Structures are given as structure tokens and as C-alpha cells.
Structure 1
Amino acid sequence: MKARSITLGLAILVAGGSAAFAGLAWRPAIGKIASPTQFDRALVAKGAQLAAVGDCAICHAGSTGTPFAGGNPLQTPFGAVYASNITPDPDAGIGTWSLAAFRRAMHDGVDRAGGFLYPAFPYNHYTHVTGEDVDAIYAFLMTRTPAKLQAPATHLPFPFNIRLLMAGWNALFVDHSPVAADPAKNAAWNRGAYLVEGLGHCAACHSPRNALGAEDKAHPFTGGEVDGWDAPGLTAATSPAAIAWTAGALYRFLRHGLDDQHAASAGPMGAVSHDLSNVPEADVRAIAIYIASMTDPDGRGAAEPTREQQVAARVAAAQIPPPELQQTSGAAIFAGACAGCHGAGAPMMLNGRPSLALGSSVTAATPRNASQTILYGLQPGPGERGPWMPGFAGSLTDDQVAAVLTYLRWRFTDRPAWPALEDNVHRIRQDKSS
């Protein structure tokens, strides 16, 4: 009898606590609007540039390529989260959303109807974006072409499908304070900090995450993973770059998708570089200055390599490999499939393209990015410009790709061999086909 009373009491406490939490977490719906209002052209233009910094088009592009129509899945450890339609269509998109509803979504992660959003939408960074900038993005999105494409609904397994729990997640992990200006830094650095920490949400990819999917605030920018790619660390201790990044090199990489002392942007970063090509030069330079300061915490400033140093690095990276390496199957595959572009004396190399020895995918701690690039190549989106490379998933087996990776690691770096390469390649191929 006593045990039954205790059980009943606990049940009442749990029920009462759940009801209290639900009451505190509840958010009201915000009324619909009939249609978007007219917007000043200058505000729309500003919003276009800010949306490019925020990479809105990357996640929210429709499965058919329709801009901002949603439907793309972002793979998370908890399941696939589908990007929503953010065109002004009144049924499939956000055409009935008021500015207040849009601001709440950006700053609080709550949609117009009062439902909690998952942080695959990086509102935990957009909390740092000023109201004026949010208003400009709203003006831009509300003047896009409406798309009547209904994005797939997100269905995560229990208990992650209980969106109300996001109220607790937000309380633990979301910071609403603005990005504080550092008076010891110049205006460009502070502008870069605002863009990187806020709209650019760079840490969302380039930081590790804890068991609940929140960024590890104790180790920001030390490397993460997104959509099957490694997002490399950006700090001095974690960057895999063979040559330290400078603000100038980062600017070229971010703006043009290529720097001749590093590599071409690949994977999700390729789309980021494309978007940043439409952002004012001053903002891209500010982003580069802020990120470069992570690899130079003392503020001494790494010098740009001289032309002589660049040539020396390229020549050293293209040395003829030792005989024992030349006899491997990886060397033979490289000679037949890769050397026409990446071998010493190849036309592409003579035109200033970076040596493979300078690319982070070859020097990285894991072979994930190099495997992705060999299997699926680099292909800019329709109508986009950028580095191009064919994929070899259809012509090379897993063990052949692994042999090439072994050869690249041995020839072009002084790093230890990657383990279990064939298993890694097989896993990436399986993930792509699933």
C-alpha cells in the first residue's frame, strides 16, 4: 500500500512538472498577414547580401533547384531535418508571416504557429543578428518568386520528435547576447566577428558538438562534421593547413573558391564560396581578418608568402617519388587518372593551381574529404563558376580509391598513414547511395 502511494505521488509530481514545463514553454501563434507589404529597394538589396552571408540559399534550395523552396535534408545524428520553403508562397512558404513572426523564428527558433524549430536552422547564431539586419533579410525573402513546393516534413525518432523539448535545449545552449565589440581590435575585425559569429554561423560546421547536438563552446572552431565532410579546425592548434592561413589567402579562398597556397573549396564549402562571391568585398575581407586571427592569437600577423616561397613550395611538393612508391598500384592509378591535372608539369599546375601537398584534404587527420573528392569530384551548381573535377565513383573500386589515397598521403605529406581506408571509402559510398 505504501509503495503504491509513493508511485502515485511520483506520477502526480511528474505529471505536474510536465504540465508546468509545457505551460512555461508554450508559445502563442502569431496572426497571418494577407500579403507582404512593399519594400524599399535598398533594403531588399541589403537583405540579398546578408542572406548570402547567411548561406540561406544553400540549405533552402529546393530539391528541383528552385531558390529558397526548401526540401533539402540536413543529416544529423538524430535523423534528417528538412529545410522549409522560405519563399513568399502563402501555403507552402512564409507568405503569411509577419515581420514579427519572422523575427521570432530568427531570434528564438519558434515558427509563426508557435512550434519550436530544430537548431539545424542555426537560430542559436541568428540571435546575435541585429533587428535591422533581420528586417532586411525579411524584405529580400518576401520579394522572391513564390514556389508552391511543399517541403517534406521532418520526422525524428522519439523523444527528439517532441519539439516542446527544444524549450529546454534553448535554455541550456542559446545565448541571446549581442556580439560584443572588442575596443582593442579595428573596425574590420569587429565587423568580421559579427558576421562570423552571427549570420555566417561558421561555428555550426567548424565546431564539435556534444551528445545533445549543441556546439562545444569550450572548443569553438576546432573542427566539426557536416553532410559527410570534415569541416576543418580553424585555430592554430587544429588547422590541418600545410601553410598557415593569412587574411589575404582566406579572402581569396572565400571570395573565389581557390587559393594557390591551399586548395579549391569542396563539398559544402564550395557553395559557401559561391554565395560569398556576391557579398561586398569589405565584408568578405572582414570575415577573413577575423578567422585569420584564430590562427594568429597573438596578433603578430603571418606574412603573405613571397612569389619565390610559393614556387619553392610547389616544386618541393612535385618531387619525383621514391622508386618503392612508384611501384605501387596507387602510383599507377594516379598516373592514369590524376597526373594529367595534378602531376608535375601538368598544364593546370603550370597555371598556378595549388599542389596536392598544400590541400587540407590530403593533410587532414581523416581521409573523409579526400575520399569524397575522388569519388564525387567537384562540380559547381547550374550556372555557377568554380573549380571543377570529375568524380571516379563509377570507374574506380573501393580498393583502388584506397590505393590512390595511400599514395597521396605518402607522396604529398609527412603525416602518418590513414588507417582502414577501404572501409572508409565503402562507408562514404554507401552513405551517398542511401
Structure 2
Amino acid sequence: MGVVVGLAGAALAGFLGATPYAPPPADLHVARTAEQIERGRYIAEHVAHCTTCHSDVDRTRFSGPVVPGTIGRGGQAFGAAEGLPFDAWSANITPAALGDWTDGELARALTVGVDREGDALIPIMRYENYRHLCGEDVEAVVAWMRSLEPIENDVAEPRVDFPLTLLLRTVPDAAEPWACPDASTPREERGRYLTRIAGCADCHTRREGIEVVGEPFAGGNEMRMPNGAIHRTANLTPDRETGIGLWTEEGFVNRFRAHRGEQPIVGEDGRSSPMPWSAYAGMSDDDLAAIYAFLRTQEPVRNVVEQYTPPPAHVATR
């Protein structure tokens, strides 16, 4: 028994010593030009929608748009109400909290998923996608973070129970940057890059807990709202009956254009959307069209999705 315990202890010590993956931060010094900051703002606020989690959002309006003056302050709660097996709060990413981090440490957090001390970040921040950010876009996001108005806001540490604490140590991985799209990049390839950074497959692929059980982009993933309503994500494959096979490019882009500007007040039935429409709507028409072109390259999957179940209180009053 003593030998078994000793071996188990040695194995655990080896595991803890080898995880999480945390390479030294790069010796990075971002220039922070106006052009770079604007590119970072575009990626962070509209493609990767960082501000959707790292700011206050107005739940009285459709899809919870960001509250002006709160960008980057963090503090949003994520836990059992969203069907998650832990309690976590989004970090304060303004210079008030991260001002003493180096540019390399910020870039490593984005693309590898570890904090300044090398501890694993909760992967509700989709660094598994951001690890594919091209180098120029990583630097642009770092420049944008440096440009934010400092906001003092102390955020609680996450609460994660054993053995999930061990599993989370395995999530950080090496950055694997893709090439930066430019004018010569085929539209479908640019759409592939944007779709990955935007995390479209994360929500539009059915999961049970953290396990993927559905076909990519075929929808049906349950998203629980604080009021008890359940949204199920749409089928984005080019299936003609249950997906976007009959959608035109213009119709796809217009679906996002409709959410530019102020979002409507949520009605008495409480129906909103977990998708950050107001963030994605800020993408350019060309980028939205590129995403459409990429989605059209996917294998069609027939999957009928009942997209919405009202909250129990609303069902009881009907």
C-alpha cells in the first residue's frame, strides 16, 4: 500500500509540475499606434467580443449590449445559472488591474491561457480559439487593452472544485498563430480565421457539459438564460431545410446589420438572446460575407432545432 501511495504521489507531483503549459512570455514591446489600437478595438469589441464578458451588459435590452463607460472592468459572473460546473468572474482587463503586466505576459494570457504567475485561466475565455490569432492581431489587442480607461474594480477569484481543478490545468497549450488575412487571402480562408476567433463553433455545436456531441456548426446547443429560458443555437451548415442552405449572402449580412445601433427593450415575455448580436453587428459587411462564404463550405447537416423554450414563470402565466 505504501508503494502504491508513493507512486500515486509521484505521478501527481509530476502532473502538477508539467501542467499547465506555461512558456516564458515573449520579449514583446507593442508600438501602440492609432492604427494598431483601432485594429485591436475591432477584434476585441466585435470579432472576439471580449467586451461582452469583460464589461457590464444591459440585460434589459435584447442580447445584453455593453454598458457605456464599463469597457474592460470585468466582474460578470458565470456559474451554475449558465450550466457551468464552477463559479467564475470575468477579469478586470483595464490598466488599473493589468498595468504592471508586460506586453509579453498579456499576449501569453490571450494565446496560451495562463496568467502572470503561469496558472491556468478558466477557459470560459476562449483562448483555445485565440491561440490562432495572427501575430499582428495579438499585438493589436494588447495595444487596445493598454488604451482602455483605467477602472478600479476588484474581482473575486474563481471557485473550482476538485477534480476539475486538475482538468483545467491541461487546457493551456502552445500558441499556433494562423496567417493574417489580407487583400490577397481567399474569402473563405478569411472567413475561417474570423469564424475561429469569433468562436462560432463553440456555441453552434451541441455539447453535453464540456463534451462535444454534435456535428460542427449544426446547432442545437443549449444556452441557459438567467430567467430560466433555454435558447438552442441555430444550424449554420448549408443544409437547405434546417440550416442556411437557402440563405443568400445579402440575407446573412442583413441579419447582423439589423442589430446595429441601439438594441430594443426586452419584452414582458423576457425573450432575449445569449448571442452578442450588438458586438458581432459591428463587423464590416466584407467580414460578415467572408464568414458566410466559409460556412457555405461546411458539410450540410440536417438538424431540426427548437430554438427557444420560455422561462417556467412565463409558461405558467400563459
TM-score clears 0.5: yes
Identity fraction in percent: 24
TM-score (ref. length: structure 1) = 0.57
Q: Does 1:166 align with 2:172?
A: no
SS in 1 for 2:170: helix
The one-letter amino acid paired with 2:43 is L
Q: Does 1:192 align with 2:197?
A: no
Q: Say if 1:76 and 1:130 are closer, same or farther in 2 by CA, change over 3 A.
A: farther
SS in 1 for 2:149: coil
Q: Which one of 28, 40, 49 corresponds to residue 55 of structure 1?
A: 49
1:137-148 alignment, distance < 5 Å: 137-148=141-152
Larger radius of gyration: 1
SS in 2 for 1:111: coil
Q: Does 1:121 align with 2:125?
A: yes
Q: 1:227, 1:94 → 2: CA distance?
A: 31
1:12-91 alignment, distance < 5 Å: 12-25=6-19, 39-51=32-44, 52-62=46-56, 65=67, 66-74=70-78, 75-89=82-96
Q: 1:241, 1:214 → 2: CA distance?
A: 23
The one-letter amino acid paired with 1:234 is L
Q: 1:239, 1:200 → 2: CA distance?
A: 25
SS in 2 for 1:221: coil
Deviation at 1:77, TM superposition (A): 3.0
1:352-367 alignment, distance < 5 Å: 364-365=305-306, 367=308
SS in 2 for 1:12: helix
Q: Say if 1:207 and 1:28 are closer, same or farther in 2 by CA, change over 3 A.
A: closer
Q: Say if 1:40 and 1:128 are closer, same or farther in 2 by CA, change over 3 A.
A: same
Q: Does the 8 Å contact 2:20/2:170 carry over to 1?
A: no
SS in 2 for 1:268: coil
Q: Say if 1:57 and 1:169 are closer, same or farther in 2 by CA, change over 3 A.
A: closer
Deviation at 1:108, TM superposition (A): 1.2
Q: Say if 1:196 and 1:292 are closer, same or farther in 2 by CA, change over 3 A.
A: same
Q: Say if 1:118 and 1:112 are closer, same or farther in 2 by CA, change over 3 A.
A: same
Deviation at 1:16, TM superposition (A): 0.5
Q: Does 1:203 align with 2:201?
A: yes
The one-letter amino acid paired with 2:149 is T
Q: Does the 8 Å contact 2:123/2:171 carry over to 1?
A: no
Q: 1:247, 1:114 → 2: CA distance?
A: 43
Q: Does the 8 Å contact 1:73/1:81 carry over to 2?
A: yes
Q: Say if 1:78 and 1:26 are closer, same or farther in 2 by CA, change over 3 A.
A: closer
Residue number in structure 2 paired with 1:398:
315
SS in 1 for 2:236: coil
Q: Does the 8 Å contact 2:30/2:139 carry over to 1?
A: no
Structure 2: any 5+ residue segments left out of the alignment?
59-66, 226-230, 261-270
Q: Does 1:132 align with 2:136?
A: yes
SS in 2 for 1:168: coil
Q: Does the 8 Å contact 1:248/1:288 carry over to 2?
A: no
Q: 1:180, 1:37 → 2: CA distance?
A: 19
Q: 1:180, 1:16 → 2: CA distance?
A: 41
Q: 2:243, 2:100 → 1: CA distance?
A: 47
The one-letter amino acid paired with 1:191 is R
The one-letter amino acid paired with 1:85 is N
The one-letter amino acid paired with 2:41 is A
TM-score (ref. length: structure 2) = 0.76
Q: Say if 1:251 and 1:112 are closer, same or farther in 2 by CA, change over 3 A.
A: same
Deviation at 1:48, TM superposition (A): 0.9
Residue number in structure 2 paired with 1:104:
108
Higher relative contact order (CA 8 A, sep 6+): 2
Q: Say if 1:55 and 1:144 are closer, same or farther in 2 by CA, change over 3 A.
A: same
Q: Say if 1:177 and 1:209 are closer, same or farther in 2 by CA, change over 3 A.
A: farther
Aligned residues: 282
Q: 1:232, 1:276 → 2: CA distance?
A: 16
Q: Say if 1:150 and 1:240 are closer, same or farther in 2 by CA, change over 3 A.
A: farther
Q: 1:220, 1:96 → 2: CA distance?
A: 40
Q: Say if 1:201 and 1:239 are closer, same or farther in 2 by CA, change over 3 A.
A: farther
Residue number in structure 2 paired with 1:332:
none
SS in 1 for 2:98: coil
Q: 1:175, 1:43 → 2: CA distance?
A: 24
Q: Does the 8 Å contact 2:239/2:245 carry over to 1?
A: no
Q: Say if 1:73 and 1:214 are closer, same or farther in 2 by CA, change over 3 A.
A: farther
Deviation at 1:129, TM superposition (A): 0.9
Q: Say if 1:98 and 1:118 are closer, same or farther in 2 by CA, change over 3 A.
A: same
SS in 2 for 1:154: coil
